[in-house]
A and B are shown apart, each in its own frame.
Chain A
Amino acid sequence: METLNKVIINQISTKVEKISGAEAVIKCLLAEGVNLAYGYPGGAIMPIYDALYNYQNQLHHVLTRHEQGAIHAAQGFARVTGKVGMVFATSGPGATNLVTGIADAQIDSTPLVCITGQVSSHLLGSDAFQETDIIGISTPVTKWNYQITRAEEIPEIIAKAFYIAKSGRPGPVLVDITKDAQFGELEFEYKKCEKIRSYRAVPKLEIEKVKAAAEMINSAKKPFIVWGQGIIIGQAEAEFKSFIEKTDIPAASTVLGLSALETSHPLHVGMVGMHGNYAPNVLTNQCDVLIAIGMRFDDRVTGNLQTYAKQAKIIHFEIDPSEVDKNVKTDIAVLGNVKETLTEIMPFINSGSHKNWLNEFHKLLQIEKDEVINNQLNPTKPGLTMGEVLNLINNETKGNAVIVSDVGQHQMFACRYANFIKTRSSVTSGGLGTMGFALPAAIGAKMGVPNREVIAIIGDGGFQMTIQELGTILQTEVAVKIVVLNNSFLGMVRQWQELFFDKRYASTVMKNPNFVKIAEGYGIEAQSVSQRADLTTAIKTMLASKKAYFLEVMIAQEDNVFPMIPTGASVSDIRLS
């Protein structure tokens, strides 16, 4: 009895024991299951880093070389694990250096919690050293943000931050904590947030809409599915597969939807969009019912809206009501989490067969193979192509790797040609198109799934935007594989200049350093390849390495990405050359 009393008294006393705001932050993160964070210390966040020092065994902090590196790493981690990515930065420049990553996470619906230090509350608004209005700056690019000025606010706000970041359509949340709030004391008690009265994470499922959609799908002669990242975020891969297999409807992915369905699936007809596949783009304008699932009709997907799928009825499965009718007018909107809506629709769906229609896709795929794909994957002309590099990587990894691509031509080659057999295997900056994303994102991805092979595919331009993160690899020994496809050009811009600006190559030529030496300087084994005969061995060597590895491949400068839908053109006017 006496011992029991003691236990109870101890429990009560731990409850009311006062701790610092900084320590409370760490305890909140542990309560949310965070055991990995990325960041960079500085004056206004020092109390939190000091508190972190006592919890290193439970919360591992990765020191990146720049705050942008930290946030992209957290994004990579979040994208491959589905967990919330965690970032720390100090006030002023530390906070503003996060902004690109925050905007990237917002447009690609990536769950992040960013904690920034802020000057003491009595200095707010006084233009103090390293003071910046990060709340004002980050407002348009965060799902939610909040400035904490009192230690007592910390548990409730951080609980809200995690709930908001990961629920519904996920997104980045920024919590700015003044230095005095970090130093201040509070009686710590943590309660996870489960609802916010003014926030509806998932709209109410309307069964009537589900039935109406089923009826439209059942009577369709040439139905076509375009799916997006919503399938992955909603963990609805299995439901999605059952749905397409039962209905026998050809399905194409957006850039961000890649890997939700294995590339080899017979109903997988490729990727839509500006550099997507020929068949799904052309047949978008021939289908009779277009079923959009967890995607948002980005302009890079639709091309000219005036001529986009005008002949088709549109069904939109979507979690965010503000996306419905935003770009493309829908006939039926099925709101809700796709895992639920796709489950609900199954009993109302008839088993279908669309052999002839699927054959249309195969015919056009053959044209694309003859005119584009074969030349890319198995080129006979001198000069290495990006496609053949991807093809050889596919041969070696058998689709098991996570491919993290940067932004530009190589990204489109990676998205077009990488084979995937598992979900969450393609990580790229889709909506924002952030060059410099891939190297840090691959670091985060590898830490998220250490047992998987993670390969970053980067151009020589983007690589140099966050090249300093080789230092993070040096320090953490994270075994990420880096492939730089070097054409000594800002290739995508060069391609546009070639096609639309009379080959006036304004500021796209890159004089590059010796990347191999740089990688070696960071202790990373490296090699450069410029001959076709050496490529397979080089890729094998890279993949055989248990450590980080850097492979530079010298690519032919005139290598262009096709097919292509020129800006303002219709999806069906996609060019093969």
Chain B
Amino acid sequence: MEEKQKFTVSVYTENNVGLLNRLSAIFLKRHINIESMTVSPSEIDHVHRFTFVVIVSETLIRKVVGQLDKQIEVVKAYYHKEDEIIYQETAMFKLSTEFLYDEKIQNKLKLRRAHMVAITKSFFVIEMTGLKEDVDRLYDRLKPYGLMQFVRSGRIAITRTPMAISELLKTS
């Protein structure tokens, strides 16, 4: 059995209703769990970018990307290994205001490039952006304080090598 690894899949698409369904169905039919997903506008006007993270073999991801790529409204689909991208994700933590002046929390925030983004009488909110592992570590540290809410985004990633989407749109 070929070893599974983490792949980030970038899919440049038209910005149309229903496309998410079409793309996720391709993962579904091969019984692949999507670890994380984000959708946003890309560097090109009216072109959107889906970023999926999945853990599968390279043989499989190559086939999946081929099937994603052939969808009518997909401009181009790529897959990347971990060392081929620069990636981040964002998380937010909501804690009770009683811990606001807790020194340990203050130190943790400084160490982890985390920021206070809201403070009210009853709660405060910490935001941090980093690698998944960084977010995981801060989560472990803050959990003992009783997280009122915790949320994290999917991964977003930039590739080291260029992806010539504008050229593709011109030539096709």
Binding site for B on A (CB under 8 A): 135-136, 139-140, 143-147, 164, 195-200, 320-322, 324-326
Contacts and interface: CB of A to CB of B under 8 A. Distances in A.
A140 B63 contact: no
Given A139-B18, A200-B172, A321-B69, 5 more contacts: A136-B18, A140-B25, A140-B28, A325-B62, A326-B66
A174 B63 CA distance: 25
B71 to A, nearest CB: 8
Interface string B4-31: 0000000001100110011001001100
Summarize A's interface: helix, strand, loop or mixed: mixed
A195 B72 CA distance: 11
Contacts of B143: none
Sorting the interface of chain B by its residue count into under 10, 10 to 19, 20 to 34 or 35 or more gives: 20 to 34
Contacts of A164: 72
Contact of A322 (B17, B28, B29, B70): B70
B21 A139 contact: yes
B70 A139 contact: no
A134 to B, nearest CB: 11
Contacts of B62: 325
A321 B70 contact: yes
B53 interface: no
Contact of B22 (A139, A320, A325): A139
Contact of A199 (B17, B22, B63, B172): B172
B72 A322 contact: no
Contact of A147 (B17, B73, B172): B17
A145 B18 contact: yes
A322 B66 contact: yes
A143 B72 contact: yes
Nearest to A196: B72
B66 A195 contact: no
B46 to A, nearest CB: 10
A198 B13 contact: yes
A238 B148 CA distance: 72
A321 B77 CA distance: 13
A326 B66 CA distance: 9
Interface in B25-41: 25, 28-29
A327 to B, nearest CB: 9
Contacts of A326: 63, 66
A198 B73 contact: yes
B111 interface: no
Contacts of B17: 147
A171 B76 CA distance: 20
Q: Which 7 A-B pairs have the closest CB atoms?
A: A322-B66, A140-B25, A144-B72, A198-B75, A199-B72, A322-B70, A139-B22
A322 B74 contact: no
Contacts of B97: none
A199 B69 CA distance: 9
Which among A143, A145, A198, A200 has the greatest number of chain B C-beta atoms within 10 A? A198
B67 interface: yes
Contacts of B22: 139-140
Nearest to A140: B25
A197 B21 CA distance: 21
B169 interface: yes
B30 to A, nearest CB: 11
Contact of B74 (A136, A146, A198, A325): A198
Contacts of B21: 135-136, 139
Contacts of B14: 198
B50 to A, nearest CB: 13
Nearest to B29: A140
Contact of B72 (A147, A198, A320, A325): A198
Interface in B41-87: 62-63, 66-67, 69-70, 72-75
B99 to A, nearest CB: 42
6 contacts: A139-B18, A145-B18, A196-B72, A198-B169, A321-B69, A322-B67
Contacts of A136: 18, 21
Contacts of B69: 321-322
A118 B64 CA distance: 32
B169 A197 contact: yes
Contacts of A197: 75, 169, 172
Contacts of A135: 18, 21
Contacts of B172: 195, 197-200
Nearest to A200: B172
Contacts of A147: 17-18
Contacts of B169: 197-198
Nearest to B69: A322
Nearest to A149: B17
A258 B158 CA distance: 48
A269 B14 CA distance: 46
A107 to B, nearest CB: 12
A199 to B, nearest CB: 5
Nearest to B169: A197
Nearest to A324: B66
A195 to B, nearest CB: 7
B14 to A, nearest CB: 5
B148 to A, nearest CB: 33
Contacts of A144: 72-73
A195 B169 CA distance: 11
Contacts of A140: 22, 25, 28-29
Nearest to A144: B72
A363 to B, nearest CB: 38
A194 to B, nearest CB: 12
Contacts of A320: 70
Nearest to B63: A326
A158 to B, nearest CB: 15
A135 B25 CA distance: 13
B170 to A, nearest CB: 9
A144 B13 CA distance: 14
Contacts of A321: 66, 69-70
A195 B75 CA distance: 13
A321 B70 CA distance: 8
Contacts of B73: 144, 198-199
A195 B69 CA distance: 17
Contacts of A139: 18, 21-22, 25
A454 to B, nearest CB: 33
B65 to A, nearest CB: 9
A320 B169 CA distance: 19
Nearest to B62: A325
A284 B141 CA distance: 62
Contacts of A195: 172
A140 B19 CA distance: 11
A553 to B, nearest CB: 40
B6 to A, nearest CB: 22
A197 B169 CA distance: 6
